[in-house]
Structure 1
């Protein structure tokens, strides 16, 4: 594991552009090992919008990972739509913070939030790239591989869940 050079905090509206940049970098530079160039471009080339992130931050739980200079290098997005379960809607890290424990700490923050709310389980759709990471956090595959469509291109993913 690399030396820790990151911090975690709740996202603020002014982080939206940096979240989008970190998200795209994670897809293009990390997920590209498990997906085709066509899939990566459909996925990372979507029309991410800052105002949608503002609404997401107001409605859901979003944390950012910042490096030693305060630059946003990743994020975790947790949705709690009902009283039973939550969903990790996204957890993406730029290469600069991968392997430093930032992902595990983001998952721990999400688990703590779910426990505070008395939720029973957390679900997610894992990228092929992130499957082993989520397994190391205690998540188990809950169904066969599925896919979601982005820009007319199927992106393979794995439904996973963690019982709290």
Structure 2
């Protein structure tokens, strides 16, 4: 596995990772209505591409295919953290988290935060994050429970 920075043009592959992670993995913790609101089959491609370029994630590449991606912002916020639903439990998430922590330390960031789905909360807890607050954001008119989690590094 190789972890590297995202390259422009990879936005559609990252959408597939995002979509599969939610539809194949998070679906065990959320209703079909919540899953479809969170990750509809089609998003505005330009809006998606712009979002990905802004967050400038790291990507995980396995045998030439992108299988996960995650970002850490200058304020320590992890906006996206997704592993393909077709590649769960292969150490991809752990490898991405290690890179994010290394990047944070390199930029002298001492605290990481993220709004974490029910599905990902055990992984984040195992990585040293603690729940700060349970939240219920509304996405496309549907409540989708998550938690603000934090880790001091």
Give the alignment's TM-score, normalised by structure 1.
Answer: 0.85
- Any idea what SS the aligned residue of 2:72 has? strand
Match of 1:39 among 31, 34, 38: 34
User: What are the Cα deviations for residues 56-104 of structure 1, in whole angstroms up to 9, with x where unaligned?
Assistant: 4554340112221x12222112222xxxx41110111113322111101
Aligned to 2:146: 157
The RMSD of aligned alpha carbons is 1.7
Aligned to 2:68: 74
* Alignment: residue pair count: 153
Moved over 2 A (4+): 46-61
Unaligned runs of 5+ in 1: 1-5
Is the 1:64–1:73 contact (alpha carbons within 8 Å) kept by the matching residues of 2?
yes
Give the alignment's TM-score, normalised by structure 2.
Answer: 0.91
Is the 2:135–2:145 contact (alpha carbons within 8 Å) kept by the matching residues of 1?
yes
Match of 1:102 among 89, 92, 96: 92
Q: Identify, as 1 or 2, the structure richer in strand.
A: 1
Is the 2:11–2:48 contact (alpha carbons within 8 Å) kept by the matching residues of 1?
yes
Match of 1:147 among 136, 143, 146: 136
- Any idea what SS the aligned residue of 2:10 has? helix
Aligned to 2:79: 89
Change (3 A) 1:114 1:79: same
